[in-house]
Structure 1
Amino acid sequence: MKSNILENINNPTDLRQLDEAQLPQLAQELRDFIIGVVAVKEGHLGASLGVVELTIALHYVFDTPNDLLIWDVGHQAYGHKILTGRRENFHTNRQLNGISGFPKRSESIYDAFGVGHSSTSISAALGMAIASNLKGDFEKQHIAVIGDASIASGMAFEGLNHAGVTDANLLVILNDNAIGIDPSVGALKNYLTAVKEGKNPKKNNMIRSLNFDYSGPIDGHDIFAVIKELKRLKEVKGPKFLHIITTKGKGLQQAEDDQVKYHAPGKFDAATGEIHPKSDGNLPPKYQDVFGLTLLDLAKVNEKIIGITPAMPSGSSLKFMMDAFPKRAFDVGIAEQHAVTLSAGMATQGMVVFCNIYSTFLQRAYDQVIHDVALQNLPVIFCLDRAGLVGEDGATHHGVFDLAYLRCIPNIIIYSPLNEIALRNILYTAQLGLNHPIAIRYPRGRGQIVDWQSRQFGTYEKIEIGTANCLQNGMNIAVLSNGTIGNNVTLALAEIDYPENFAHYDFAFVKPLDENMLHFIFNTFNDIITIEDGAIKGGFGTTIVEFAAENKYSSNIVTLGIPDEFIEQGSVDELQQYCKIDVSSLSIMFSNY
């Protein structure tokens, strides 16, 4: 019986003591270990399985952490974490107070750069390489591992463009598996496919044209070939580029066959690969599906409707429209800036453009929102999925800043639906024609109403822009909520002894505010509580405080939301409890008034 190699690897120094002939066995053990933990604890599976051999080879050949290794995005870094001292606590991955699902500088000296959003690795590694040259350290290696979906992003090309005119000791490794979360798209994907198939002559190699020493493509699962090439490149000075071919989900047949589903499959059987069925039963819909199905319904009637997403057709559920109307729905790849300005261009020509972007990723296109959309007052409809706390993906992915960074922009309308019916109706209202751009923010996860498509709710209703609604009358204290967190307020008020003391108002519009309603509230109540699932600093609560100051109201205002810190990973319930905006915390607070 073979001995277990992995259990004796506590850091890359241990790894480098192995004979090269032992590495295929280590690769199998590492795959099995990742599968065994993720099957039970959940997480990102396929990406890490695809780079097992590369991960081992990198730490075997290079002197990490002295040599600097950067993983783009970080979905594929589980093997890296396990080999760099985190095997024993890998079971805490993505859990409250556990290790992060992404590389994180404060977690390990082997995590040279914190990541979570795509296409940053080349620029970061180049910056490190130039700094090493300036310090006279010409032997240090700087390696960026980037996927074929991420390298198509503009920032990656900016890094390549700069690196090609430097003498930086930089190695860019392209992990080419033809898929990100969804299949890769675009002309660059087609180019890379041609290279892999030998249809593109070497003399036309675009990477060589950028002054990189290009090698490949090679089989990324042939660990001996990868090690041999890394050893050669280690001695080559200047910018280098290694093109490797891998299979996402390698080693688990189901993950290879269905790479989209097994990117993050949830819990599954480690032996068979079968995903454990979730008891969805008669549950409310996911907000992303409310968006996707409603947009499809509206697009059947309104031929001017266009759908655009940067690389998230499945995650955003734009795929419903892409399947039905492929000429009117576009996945533009990991290119948020392009997605926003493309939307603006279409809007100038009378198209009704729904630009669907995760809240955390719209941050990457902030200038385009201001300069290309809002400044020209173009009625682009931004649908911000995953707004608020998103859970286990942690600080890099929480959509908690959008209210603060959007509400300072002139011309823009900002709306957060209370539930799926409100989301459905604001999508309907927006496509009727607005004179301004609008941002519609809604959370990850499920809504409130199971039969949201029933006859009772089936007809669309136009929403009057800038109106708030009274959900509950009360005598002494006014609670003003924005978005789906208002449902926590409703549940909390139902638990206390004297709910009649509290009035509850749904301020779905942060901009424009319902000032008539606010004047009534401030003239009626001495105590006002605001609550949001966004950053308190600069968000909805700040808006209400500003209104009170401008109008010289002296009511006591308490603002609840996400505190002024980066919130780490954990379930949404756990993180809401940490921020004291969960039902239990709210009911205790209300009871103490």
Structure 2
Amino acid sequence: MRTEPLPWPSPVPPSIRSLQALRSAPVQDLAPAAEWIRTLLIDAVGRTGGHLGPNLGVVELSLALHRVFTSPRDSIVFDTGHQAYVHKLLTGRLGDFGQLRQAGGLSGYPSRSESVHDLVENSHASTALAYADGLAKARKLAGAGERAVVAVIGDGALTGGMAWEGLNNLGAASDRPVIIVLNDNGRAYAPTCGALADHLATLRKDGNCAGPNLFTVLGFTYLGPLDGHDTAQVEAALHRARALRRPVVVHVVTVKGKGHLPAELDEADCLHAVGPAPAPGSPAPAAKAAAPSWTGVFGSALARAAAERPEVVAISAAMVRPTGLHPMAQQLPGRVFDVGIAEQHAVCSAAGLAMAGMHPVVAVYATFMSRALDQVLMDVALHRLPVTFVLDRAGVTGPDGSSHHGMWDSAVFGVVPGMRLAAPRDAPTLRALLDEALADNDGPTMLRFPKGNVPADLPAGRRLGDIDLLHQTCQQPNDVLLVGLGPLAAACLAAGQALSAHGLGVTVASPRWALPVPGELVDLAADHALTVTVEDGVRTGGIGSALAQACTDAYVSTPICQLGLPRRFLPHGPRDDLLRAAGLDRDGITASALRAYDTHCTPPARRSKRIS
């Protein structure tokens, strides 16, 4: 951890220099401390990038939590951990905050390796209530029921199915005191949708906790609604909740982006997440046309296709803008459905739409898609329904870290019967593959692409079935086949040129539909002495493994060198650096291919590897 001074000149208020100081500080010292924290957040997150809006909204709430509860003896679990920045500041990590989300620095989410105050490393929504249920059961069994269990969950995360399962279990257990702090700002990324949002709006409007409501019907004591920016009011409610010794919902109303006018006025997402701003005094970047993002290319292509195909509908799990559905939502608002943070419901609802003759497009971040594996498998694939899944942020995502790298999807969904998976390498292939997916009525399809801007177009020299050939050397025999999946085709092309300079005959192939493995790819492998697959998904069980199995089934003995991400959780850091560390850049691919060739390929191997 860093020990050098912070770059902010204002001294740290005495009331927040330690948790002990915070708990003993007079209440009148809390408002200036909250203002100081907001100033720091705006400055720091502006430098590093990160989740600004959610944390500006929980400053007073976080102060109150740490004044009432003694962490880590009392357990505080933050649902969707991007609202835990203030918690980090208050629990001894102020001096490291300048390195938030930087390689080797603080995580943008709770992290057990950083602090004993970070109990749960969750950044997937709707899990905190289940954690709290288990913690409270364990406290009771251990005779430690005086140790409080607190779950802090936003109204957006409360739309998720797991949250409702947690409410169902917690409300019925009057002998297990769990305090649910409902941080209600009316939003996930966008305004919270559905009947729950309407109910919370009614509670906010009435401002009266005396009557029955959803939570009291489920067995909770309900306290609220409270002004979440009044630390004293929230603190008093939390003390009361603890003293009740039963399940309690403390409903606090906050403003996402509070104290930062651009965030408060941003109707899109209240500056939910921001990128780093240029350093003060740095020269302005040269004006140039920005390359389109993968998300933007997909969004435009989908809106165009939906206008031409009346059967196309789209579903979002509370992320219409981040997944590129906003253009279609503006153009065809009745055909885009936001179901809240509920991936399982999204997929099963898509199955119903497909059964009724529609072609649903379910757009989800790759890291969240695994939450709905059962629905993809048993509700969509079992019925051979035409549902297209579009996975944004596939592969290495960068500063969001281990919970957000979309590295599992190819291995997880590659086993689903009838699933066709494509990995476009550039904008033209993304548009073409989306059109092909929407025209496929025989079963589910899946497209995956990474975070960031699309690379330069990589036109194919020629097409071989579902395989684009990007490079072939003239010399024979064929030594090395490089199979570049998706955007890693560019690195494979560069590596192929480097291998050619070593005197090897090289073919660079870019599968358009990678799963099921095209027969043409097996034939190509049979015609080369060595095949090297390169993918930005986990290597174990990935597309390279599927090709190796397909070659074995076809009695092709060509050695398959599978390059991909290791089977471990990767840290946060720049995408290019993490890919380089995994050997997935030009130099790493070249070195791996040369080692594999020297190991497996003697001169007699320079022939067809198909066993007769």
TM-score (norm 1): 0.92
Structure 1 segment 470-489 matched on structure 2, within 5 A? 470-474=469-473, 475-489=478-492
| Rounded Cα–Cα distance in structure 2 between residues aligned with 1:584 and 1:56 | 49
1:526 alignment counterpart: 529
2:5 alignment counterpart: none
2:211 partner SS: helix
1:118 partner SS: coil
1:547 alignment counterpart: 550
Structure 1 segment 109-508 matched on structure 2, within 5 A? 109-166=116-173, 167-198=175-206, 202-258=210-266, 260=269, 262-268=271-277, 281-449=288-456, 467-474=466-473, 475-494=478-497, 497-498=501-502, 501-508=505-512
Q: Does the 8 A contact of 1:39 with 1:270 survive in 2?
A: no
Q: Relative to structure 1, is the Cα distance of residues 200 and 293 closer, same or farther in structure 2, using a 3 angstrom cutoff?
A: farther
Letter of the 2:488 partner, please give it.
Answer: I
Q: Does the 8 A contact of 2:15 with 2:25 survive in 1?
A: no
Letter of the 2:271 partner, please give it.
Answer: Y
1:314 partner SS: coil
1:572 alignment counterpart: 575
| Rounded Cα–Cα distance in structure 2 between residues aligned with 1:336 and 1:277 | 41
| Rounded Cα–Cα distance in structure 2 between residues aligned with 1:303 and 1:515 | 34
Q: Relative to structure 1, is the Cα distance of residues 32 and 469 closer, same or farther in structure 2, using a 3 angstrom cutoff?
A: same
1:383 partner SS: strand
Match of residue 560, structure 2, among 533, 554, 557? 557
| Rounded Cα–Cα distance in structure 1 between residues aligned with 2:569 and 2:18 | 29
| Rounded Cα–Cα distance in structure 2 between residues aligned with 1:404 and 1:122 | 29
Q: Does the 8 A contact of 2:482 with 2:496 survive in 1?
A: no
Q: Does the 8 A contact of 2:481 with 2:524 survive in 1?
A: no
2:307 partner SS: helix
Letter of the 2:19 partner, please give it.
Answer: P
2:68 alignment counterpart: 61
Offset of residue 434 of structure 1: 2.7
Offset of residue 234 of structure 1: 1.8
| Rounded Cα–Cα distance in structure 1 between residues aligned with 2:357 and 2:437 | 14
Percent identity over paired residues: 35
Matched residue pairs, number? 577
Letter of the 1:395 partner, please give it.
Answer: S
TM-score (norm 2): 0.90
Gaps of 5+ in 1: 458-462
Letter of the 1:517 partner, please give it.
Answer: L
| Rounded Cα–Cα distance in structure 1 between residues aligned with 2:528 and 2:14 | 63
2:321 partner SS: helix
1:396 partner SS: coil
Letter of the 2:63 partner, please give it.
Answer: I
Q: Relative to structure 1, is the Cα distance of residues 304 and 73 closer, same or farther in structure 2, using a 3 angstrom cutoff?
A: same
Q: Does the 8 A contact of 1:140 with 1:169 survive in 2?
A: no
Letter of the 2:583 partner, please give it.
Answer: K
| Rounded Cα–Cα distance in structure 1 between residues aligned with 2:251 and 2:590 | 56
1:537 alignment counterpart: 540
Q: Relative to structure 1, is the Cα distance of residues 279 and 63 closer, same or farther in structure 2, using a 3 angstrom cutoff?
A: farther
Deviates more, 1:34-43 or 1:44-53: 34-43
1:409-465 Cα offsets, whole Å, 9 max, x none, are 111111111211111011111222331111111111111248x9xxx99xxxxx99x
Q: Relative to structure 1, is the Cα distance of residues 90 and 5 closer, same or farther in structure 2, using a 3 angstrom cutoff?
A: closer
Structure 1 segment 99-114 matched on structure 2, within 5 A? 99-114=106-121
Offset of residue 153 of structure 1: 1.1
2:112 partner SS: coil
2:92 alignment counterpart: 85
| Rounded Cα–Cα distance in structure 2 between residues aligned with 1:372 and 1:172 | 33
**CA RMSD of superposed structures (Å):** 2.4
Gaps of 5+ in 2: 1-8, 598-612
1:313 partner SS: coil
Q: Does the 8 A contact of 2:14 with 2:21 survive in 1?
A: no
| Rounded Cα–Cα distance in structure 2 between residues aligned with 1:251 and 1:384 | 34
Match of residue 512, structure 1, among 500, 511, 516? 516
Offset of residue 572 of structure 1: 0.5
| Rounded Cα–Cα distance in structure 2 between residues aligned with 1:515 and 1:281 | 43
